[in-house]
Amino acid sequence: MVSQDDNKLTLTEQMKYHSQLHERLKRCERKIILLHKEQTNLWKRIAESVGELRVMCEHKWIRNNEPYSQLECEICGIPK
């Protein structure tokens, strides 16, 4: 028979495992920060693009058949 003690990690192994988990968490958090920065940059570029479309397009405003829908340009698609 195998005793329960054979399946348990030693203190050193458990400490190493704990440290490895923390390192993985730190890597994930760094990736999240980079993705958030990229997302923010994309939102800024989208806002700039909408500004350009507002100036360039001769808008034709329409409303969808949904209740409380906002006006959108039929040509360029930006909301009013």
Its domain, for residue 57, covers 10-73
| In-domain check, residue 1 | no
Per cent of the chain over pLDDT 90 is 79
> Are the beta carbons of 51 and 32 closer than 8 angstroms?
no
Output the pTM of the full model.
0.65
Q: How far apart are CA 54 and CA 76, in angstroms?
A: 9
| In-domain check, residue 3 | no
Radius of gyration of the chain (CA): 27
Residue 2 confidence (pLDDT) above 50: no
| In-domain check, residue 56 | yes
| In-domain check, residue 80 | no
Query: What band does 9 get if pLDDT is binned at 50, 70 and 90?
Result: confident
Query: What band does 5 get if pLDDT is binned at 50, 70 and 90?
Result: low
User: What's the structural domain count of the chain?
Assistant: 1
| In-domain check, residue 59 | yes
| In-domain check, residue 79 | no
**pLDDT tens track for 20-52:** 999 999 999 999 999 999 999 999 999 999 999
| In-domain check, residue 17 | yes
